[in-house]
Amino acid sequence: MDWNLNEAIRPDARYREWKMEKLLAEIAACNACSAHLPHGPRPVVTAGGNCRILIIGQAPGRRVHESGIPWMDQSGKELRRWLGVTEERFYDPEAFGLIPMGFCYPGKGKSGDLPPRPECAPLWHKRLLGGLPRVKLTLLIGKYAQEYYLGTAAAPSVTETVRNFRKSLPEYLPLVHPSPRNKIWHLKNPWFEARVLPELRKRVQDILS
């Protein structure tokens, strides 16, 4: 599609999609931190210009790096259960935008995957969010997203930030990571399943209905 119109003249849904497609193409070609990526750059980001819920996670794992599809792993399966949505709905660009703090797989460290590369969020997030005017709720998964977006409002621990999730509403809803590694955390914190997930599902349903 070729547009020769000023954004101020044609700020409609199709134009937003076109602008987002161009931005995602720029991101796909990014190699800003390639020297630090043991498996090379492969940015994994999806967003439609008209999506209504934004999910900001950490960084792709090895399986996602190989497939190029965000959250296409066990963590994603659990996240979709939390949200109460099907896989088809989850990957609907009119519904969800999927943006990590670090766009590429950072590689393995001594105790799991390395942290997200710090270059991505300052370089791309503002432009991405600027192209998503219909977002009604942003889910912040893990400490990197919570510290970046909540700033001093984030508690010293992810547990406390998530426990006090209502303080961040209605714009943000902080969550723990849905990794299978967190099973012990869930056993110790049953309030997450009892209090946070019902609120999450209700808000998701209300926004997408």
195 falls within a domain: yes
Domain region containing 179: 13-208
Divide the 209 residues of the chain into consecutive groups of 10 and give the mean pLDDT of each group: 44 86 96 94 95 97 95 97 98 96 93 91 97 97 98 97 98 97 96 98 97
- Sequence-separated (6 or more) residues with CB below 8 Å from residue 70: 44, 45, 46, 57, 60, 64, 76, 98, 100
Predicted TM-score of the model (pTM): 0.92
Alpha-helical segments (H) within the chain = 13-28, 62-67, 74-83, 87-90, 120, 126-130, 143-150, 158-163, 183-188, 191, 197-208
3 falls within a domain: no
Strand 172-175 with 108-109, pairing: unpaired
What is the pLDDT, as a whole number, of residue 10?
53
CB 133 within 8 A of CB 16: yes
Residue 130 sits in a domain whose CATH number is 3.40.470.10
